[in-house]
Each structure stands twice: as structure tokens, then as C-alpha cells.
Amino acid sequence: MSDDAREGAEDWRLPQAARPPLLGELVERIDEALATARASEAAVMTVGAAALDAAEQAKRAAELAERASAAIEARRGPSRGAPPGGASHAAATPGDGSGDIDDFTARADQLAERLSRLQRVPLSA
């Protein structure tokens, strides 16, 4: 066999672009992906907690607004502010604005419940 026909080690080497990553490089990539995932999880938890706090504050504000409205209606007396028969929000018709606080409170309650359910869902599989 001639020297030209023999294969050398150089014939078997892959170009740099075609070489698979080294184990150390893979470990670095995995560590970086884990750090990113942990930071993302922490950010989601922070945003979730802030959303729950905001929903709770909105609920408290709605309750305070309802109490203030009830106090104002009580001061006005049945002759001026309340509809006949003592019904206040129960007789509200859609679009007249009198049931808006009830709608707001109901939506705040729904949001708080939904966020608390989301908080119970595990983030990792």
C-alpha cells in the first residue's frame, strides 16, 4: 500500500463547526438553563403574589365603597335616595350605574379565587 492511499488521523477529524459540544459545555448550558428557569419561576411567583394583593385591595376598596354608599343612602332617608320598598341594588337595572359596585365586587371575588387556584398549581412537572 502506498503512502498516498493510507488514511491518516487528519482524515478522520471533523471540522470545528461539525464537532459536538464537549461535556463541560453541555454542563454550562444546563446550568444556565436552570438558572434562567429558577429566575423565571421566582418572577412568576412575585407577579402572582402582587396580583393577589391587588385583587385583595380591590375587594377591600369595593367593600368600603359599598359601606360608604350605604351610609350615604341611610343619611338621605327613604324619601330621597332609596327606591320605594327599601330595595337598593336589587332593583338596579343594567346600565343605570347602581349595580356597578356589585359587578365590580363580583369580578374582584372571581379574580381573587382564580389567582388563588393558580397559586396552588405546581410550576414544575
Distance (Å) of CA 70 to CA 22, 50, 59, 75, 81: 72, 30, 16, 9, 10
With bands split at pLDDT 50, 70 and 90, how would you rate the model's confidence at 84?
very low
Most confident of 37-46, 86-95, 97-106: 37-46
Burial tier of 34 (Cβ tally within 10 Å: 0-12, 13-18, 19+): exposed
Is residue 60 pLDDT above 90, yes or no?
yes
**Which is more confidently placed, 50 or 86?**
50
With bands split at pLDDT 50, 70 and 90, how would you rate the model's confidence at 75?
confident
What is the model's pLDDT at position 92? Answer: 46
Cβ neighbours around 62 below 10 Å, total: 20
8 phi/psi in degrees, rounded to 5: -110, 175
With bands split at pLDDT 50, 70 and 90, how would you rate the model's confidence at 3?
low
